[in-house]
Chains A and B, each alone.
Chain A
Amino acid sequence: MIKKIKASRSEKIIFIFIIILALFSFGSFLLIKDKCLFVKDYDTKKIHFDSPENIAILNVPCGNVIIELYPNISPNSVKRFVTLVNSKAYDDVAFHRVIKGALVQAGDLEFGKRGSVNYGKIGTGKSGLGTINSEVDKPFNFDKGTVALARTQKYNTEDSQFFIILKDEPLYETEYTPIGKVIYGLKALEKIKYLDKSQYVLRPDYINSIRMLIN
């Protein structure tokens, strides 16, 4: 006759500990693997917009980022951005410059396209449409989520590159041309790939697409 052996209290504790450890390890594995796990993806059909004609949807690896554009603040710059959006020029373009917790920059149409990224020149590329003048005179709060056009050290050199700030940057007012603000989905931008030791990203994340809500 087989005698039933009852587990002691300490054996039960060790068993429970092993189970918890296994669950924790499995959970951590899932979390580490999926960087987008806790990022909410926004569906534009479920959101009401006051100015739907000024809404752009930036799709990135972790979902949709909804941007409201401000043509009343920077008409020419917004016009340039919308032109490039409508021609799908930004699709498959790299987030080549990313500073963790500070900004993500993309829009090098010449050297930042998926499949033909030129790491030696990325960030210097042009759109082929020429540069446009900076529009920096109107008061604007560069708070978290602001979308602005990038430029060289000189004003009036804006083209296709843009950046989105992930923290308030009051010093950027009158320095860069603001074109809009992220109204939903900033968290998806915080998950864009960055490097600790360099602002320029090797094997970067890409813009999947940018579309205007109303074409």
Chain B
Amino acid sequence: MNLIRLILLSLFIFTQSQADTIYNLIKIPNLEIYEINSSNKLRYLYAKQPFTIGIDNNINCFDSEKKVLDKKYKIIKKNFNRYNQKFLKKINLKYIVLCEDLSISKINTAGIPDNVMKTLILDIKFDEKYFERVIHHEVFHIINDSFKEIFDEKIWSNFNMKDFRYAKCSTCTNKLGLDTYSNTDGFFTEYSQSTASEDMAEVFSHLMIGTDLNNIDPILKKKIQFIKKNLLKIDENFIL
């Protein structure tokens, strides 16, 4: 019995010290390594316990059951494997934090990108219907944040109809629908109409999951060209 206690205690000590290393690197507590030997050198971390971060502790996320984590990880890894190590280094993405019920200021969100800390927090319980797409959507925010000068929002906004205006922020509007329109009319989804940055992320994510582009409108065609052209500026070998 004592031996078992000793083993449990030593595991606890090891876990804590490893967790401290992660905290020192990305300033998120209560994380542990899920997988670090991925081919593109992404480091997958998971919430061992709920964590709270951000200004006024406004970002919250919770730990998951292992079987949920194992199931979702396969999907997550498959999608992140689309990006090679060189590209990830350029855009400044290295750590993927897996947790559930992610929220910012009590608003549920699929992911929180932070290119400064090289981290993307992902809600692994986000609606399965859109889950793979939102992975790429959030990756685009990392790309955009790292290359603001390339993805000029003024140029982008000029692709839209003259009377169209984006909202001031993605949560300042009720346009939150993520279903892909059958009749695009300049936007892939309702959420695309929230802000220029969300619109770009929606275009990018639709391209990444191979959405059928046969019946899209001229505005969206221009937007797609803009995204493709600028991604090649970052990495001439980038494949959509």
Contacts and interface: CB of A to CB of B under 8 A. Distances in A.
A138 interface: no
Interface residues of A, number: 12
Contacts of A171: 21-22, 25, 33, 36, 43
Contacts of A175: 25, 94
A130 B20 CA distance: 30
A18 interface: no
Given A153-B116, A170-B36, A101 B17 contact: yes
Contacts of B20: 99, 102
B41 A169 contact: no
Interface string B76-89: 00000000000001
A214 B25 CA distance: 36
Q: How large is the interface on B (under 10, 10 to 19, 20 to 34, 35 or more residues)?
A: 10 to 19
A209 interface: no
B67 to A, nearest CB: 25
Nearest to A100: B17
Given A174-B41, A174-B94, A169 B116 contact: no
Nearest to A154: B116
Interface in B17-46: 17, 20-22, 25, 33, 36, 41, 43
Contacts of B117: 153
Contact of B17 (A102, A170, A174): A102
Contacts of A99: 20
Contacts of A173: 41
A167 interface: yes
Nearest to B116: A153
5 contacts: A169-B21, A171-B22, A171-B36, A171-B43, A174-B94
Interface of B: 17, 20-22, 25, 33, 36, 41, 43, 89, 94, 116-117
The 4 closest A-B pairs by CB, nearest first: A174-B41, A170-B36, A171-B21, A169-B21
Given A153-B116, A175-B94, 11 more contacts: A99-B20, A101-B17, A102-B20, A170-B36, A171-B22, A171-B25, A171-B36, A172-B21, A174-B41, A174-B94, A175-B25
